[in-house]
Amino acid sequence: MTDHGTAFGVTPDGEKVERHVLDNGRLRVAVLTYGATVQRLEVADGTDVVLGLGTLEDYLLRSRYFGAVVGRYGNRIARGRFTLDGTEYRLPVNDGENSLHGGVRGFDKRVWQVESAGPAELLLGLVSPDGEEGYPGELTARVRYVLDGDTLRLEYRVTTDAPTVVNLTNHSYFNLAGGGDVRGHVVTLEADRYLPVDEGKIPTGELAPVAGTPFDFTAPSRVDARLGGRYDHCYVLQGRAAVTDPVSGRWMEVTTTEPGVQFYTGHMLGGDGTPYGPFAGLCLETQHFPDAPNRPAFPSPVLRPGEERVSTTGYRFGIA
């Protein structure tokens, strides 16, 4: 049974927020129009495997991007600036001296519009005006959520009326145990290179081999097997990413058309009123590379008028 359009609250600006539930008998997903947020994701045995919050006020005050679509540029842009076609653009800095996840009021803090809704499918749209958070061009973004068997598929489509940069991703924190922490989860990343970063978590520009380093997840490894489980790095994805909870046997497989995945183990959660502590969930954010607008050697995040950027990520679930 689906439940579309339930009232979830009203923003301080007076915008109404809705909660939409998709259900195909295998997966049950609740999506909020605030931030295009995945609030709950129940797998076949009924376990909720994402971190979510109970009220709109919680999301306004206590969220660490839980389940949201982040943009206009997910991840970090160094010093909050980039140059495109000879013009420098300056962005709000909200992560030290850098700009993170679209700035102070990114797409995670916008109310998206429902364009269509069905029992196992939801299409949300958003128009970001020219100059919003410093980004050029009016950007039209759409995200479609589709339940297909044991897979939740997210399809992103973006167009612009002026040259701009864009990098959308979903920021769900997964915990396949349904509670506790994820340090015992086993992760596989089909990636033989990753992006080393400086102290501000900005890529150095190198695509470094993972072989012989603590960043090697080409073979299944526990989250906490190395580095105390503290990862917040982008990997050059060649195939899939996978996570298993050995205790319950639940597993998740992530596939994407994006060139990278940010593997973040949630070790910085906790404090600031956020109800989840360190390692409560891990993120696999499929995306273009961090700081790509300032790195010509990276896959280009530039979008121009007349083009449509299309990206798909699938999350497939099962139990051993």
* Residues catalogued as catalytic: 171, 285
Residue 234 contacts residue 195 (beta carbons within 8 Å): yes
**Residue holding tokens 């400086």?**
198
215/230 Cα distance (integer angstroms): 10
Query: Which stretch of DSSP H or E encloses residue 116?
Result: strand 113-118
For residue 264, give the nearest of 191, 200, 178, 201 by alpha carbon.
201
**Rounded to whole angstroms, what are the CA distances from 274 to 39, 52, 59, 277, 315?**
15, 11, 10, 8, 26
**Collapsing DSSP states into helix, strand and coil, what is residue 133?**
helix
Query: Which stretch of DSSP H or E encloses residue 56?
Result: helix 56-61
Query: Which stretch of DSSP H or E encloses residue 308?
Result: none
Residue type at position 32? L
Residue 263 zone, left/alpha/beta (φ > 0; ψ -120 to 50; rest): beta
Alpha carbons within 13 angstroms on the beta-carbon side of residue 51 total 32
